[in-house]
C-alpha cells in the first residue's frame, strides 16, 4: 500500500472479534439444542420447534432487527454468520432467521415508521415470525406477471388470489404480500406490498408441499378470499411494491448464500471425520491421494464461496450500488458449491453416505433448494449479466 492508500480503498469486509464471538455462541446453541433434533425433524417433516425456541432464547431468532425496534441490531455479516452456523447442522432451522429477514426486509426498506413500530418489535422479541409472499405458480421468475389483486375500497384494500411456495407458511403470524393494485398500469409499477396477518378473515393456507429437502420448514400456498386489509398496512407507496420486493432480494439472496455455505461446511466436516476413521486395504482412506484431492477441492470451493458471501454481506450492510451483482453472485456460486460439496461428501462415504445413518444424504437433499429459491441460479446469472452490461 502506498502512503496515499487508505484501508477504505479495500472496503470488502473484516471479521471483528464480535463476529467471531457470535459464531462461537451460535455454534454452541446449534450443536447443543438444534443438531440433536435435526434428523427427527427431517424424518417427521415437522417444524423445528426446538430450534425455534433455542433461537428465541439466545437472541438469534431475528438478529437483523434494529435496537430501536427491540432487536439486537446485528449487521448483515453477523446475520449471515448466524444463518451459516445453524445451517451447518440443520438447513430447515436456518430458515427461521433467514425468512424472518426476508419477510421484514420490505418493511425495513420501504415501510412507514408506524408500520415498522407495529410489526418489527414482535418479531425481534420472538413472539411472531414473518414470511414473504411474492411467487405464484404462473409467476415464479416472472414476478411482474402476478395475478394476485388488491382493490381499493374506501381506506381499505380487498385482497384476492394466491401465492405459492411460501416458506414457513402457517407458522408465521405476519406476511408481506405483493399484489397488483393497478391492472392497467405500467408493468412492474402497478404492484403494491401489504402486511397480512394470520388471523385476517378470508386468509387461509394450502396443504403442505411434499418436498425433497428442508422438510422441517413448511412450504404452503397462501389463499386470499376477499381479505380486507386496512390501508395503514401498506408497505411503501402504492405502485412501489415490486421495486421494494426486488431490492429486498438483493439483500436476502446473500443470506441464502450463507445458508448454502453452512450446509457445505457441515457436509465437509462429516466427510472429513469419516475418511479419517474408515479403513480399506489396511489403512485409513484419508491417506489415499484421490480422497485428498476431493477434500482439497471441496474445501477450496467452500472457502471461495464463504468469502464471496461475506463480501456481499458487507455490501448489503453499506447498501453499495453493486450489491445486485454481488448478491446474485454470492447466492449462485455458494449454492452451486453446496450442491457439489454435499454430493462429493456422499460419495466419500460410499454406501454409508446413501443411508440415513449419516446426515449427508439429508444435507445433499437440503442443498438443492438453495439453487432454486429466491431466484433460480439461471435468473441469478441473468441479474449478473445485466449488471455487467449496464456497466
Is the CA virtual torsion 111, 112, 113, 119 positive or negative?
negative
Phi, psi of 360 (to 5 degrees): -70, -35
Question: Under a CB-based contact definition with an 8 Å cutoff, are residues 251 and 103 in contact?
Answer: no
Q: What's the grid cell of residue 45?
A: 417433516
* Grid cell digits, residue 160: 384476492
Sign of the alpha-carbon torsion through 165, 168, 172, 175: negative
Q: Is 220 helix (H, G, I), strand (E, B) or coil?
A: strand
Query: What are residue 151's DSSP bridge partners?
Result: 158
User: Helices 323-349 and 360-369 meet at what angle, rounded to 10?
Assistant: 150
Pairing of strands 130-133, 174-180: parallel
| Catalytic site residue from 84, 301, 361, 374 | 374
Q: Is 235 exposed, middle or buried (0-12, 13-18, 19+ CB in 10 A)?
A: buried
C-alpha pair distances (Å), 65 with each of 105, 192, 233, 237, 361 = 9, 23, 19, 22, 34
Alpha carbon distance 16, 4 (integer Å): 25
Q: What is 269-326 written as a DSSP string?
A: HHHHHHHHH-EETTEEGGGSHHHHHHHHHHHHHHHHHHHHHHHHHHHHHHT-TTHHHH
Q: Residues 6 or more apart from 198 whose CB is under 8 A from it?
A: 172, 173, 174, 175
Residue 362: how many other CB atoms lie within 10 Å:
25
- The alpha carbon of 268 is separated from its chain's Cα centroid by a whole number of angstroms, namely 21
Length of the chain: 391
Sign, CA torsion 248/203/112/218: negative
374 is catalytic: yes
Q: Which residues are catalytic?
A: 374
Amino acid at each position: 500500500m502506498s502512503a496515499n492508500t487508505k484501508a477504505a480503498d479495500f472496503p470488502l469486509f473484516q471479521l471483528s472479534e464480535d463476529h467471531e464471538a457470535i459464531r462461537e455462541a451460535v455454534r454452541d446453541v446449534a450443536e447443543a439444542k438444534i443438531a440433536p433434533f435435526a434428523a427427527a425433524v427431517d424424518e417427521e417433516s415437522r417444524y423445528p420447534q426446538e430450534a425455534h425456541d433455542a433461537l428465541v432464547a439466545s437472541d438469534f431468532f431475528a438478529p437483523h432487527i434494529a435496537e430501536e425496534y427491540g432487536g439486537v441490531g446485528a449487521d448483515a455479516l453477523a446475520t449471515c454468520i448466524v444463518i451459516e452456523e445453524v445451517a451447518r447442522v440443520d438447513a430447515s432451522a436456518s430458515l427461521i432467521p433467514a425468512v424472518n429477514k426476508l419477510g421484514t426486509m420490505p418493511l425495513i426498506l420501504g415501510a412507514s415508521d408506524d408500520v415498522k413500530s407495529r410489526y418489527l418489535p414482535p418479531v425481534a422479541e420472538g413472539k411472531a415470525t414473518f414470511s414473504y409472499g411474492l411467487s405464484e405458480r404462473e409467476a415464479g421468475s416472472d414476478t411482474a406477471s402476478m395475478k394476485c389483486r388488491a382493490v381499493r375500497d374506501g381506506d381499505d384494500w380487498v385482497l384476492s388470489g394466491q401465492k405459492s411456495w411460501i416458506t414457513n407458511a402457517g407458522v408465521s403470524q405476519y406476511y408481506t404480500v405483493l399484489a397488483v393494485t393497478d391492472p392497467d398500469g405500467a408493468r412492474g409499477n402497478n404492484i403494491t406490498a401489504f402486511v397480512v396477518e394470520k388471523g385476517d378473515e378470508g386468509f387461509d393456507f394450502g396443504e403442505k408441499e411434499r418436498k425433497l429437502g428442508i422438510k422441517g420448514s413448511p412450504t404452503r400456498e397462501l389463499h386470499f378470499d376477499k381479505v380486507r386489509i386496512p390501508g395503514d398496512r401498506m408497505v411503501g407507496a402504492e405502485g412501489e411494491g415490486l421495486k421494494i420486493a426486488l431490492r429486498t432480494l438483493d439483500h436476502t439472496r446473500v443470506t441464502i448464500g450463507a445458508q448454502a455455505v453452512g450446509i457445505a461446511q457441515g457436509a465437509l466436516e462429516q466427510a472429513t471425520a469419516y475418511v479419517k476413521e474408515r479403513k480399506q486395504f489396511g489403512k485409513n482412506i484419508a491417506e489415499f491421494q484421490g480422497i485428498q484431492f476431493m477434500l482439497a477441492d471441496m474445501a477450496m470451493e467452500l472457502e471461495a464461496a464463504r468469502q464471496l458471501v461475506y463480501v456481499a454481506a458487507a455490501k448489503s450492510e453499506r447498501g453499495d450500488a453493486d450489491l445486485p451483482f454481488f448478491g446474485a453472485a454470492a447466492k449462485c456460486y455458494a449454492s452451486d458449491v453446496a450442491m457439489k460439496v454435499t454430493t462429493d461428501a456422499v460419495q466419500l462415504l460410499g454406501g454409508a453416505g446413501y443411508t440415513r445413518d449419516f446426515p449427508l444424504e439429508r444435507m445433499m437433499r437440503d442443498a438443492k433448494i438453495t439453487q432454486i429459491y429466491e431466484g433460480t441460479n439461471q435468473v441469478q446469472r441473468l441479474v449478473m449479466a445485466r449488471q455487467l452490461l449496464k456497466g
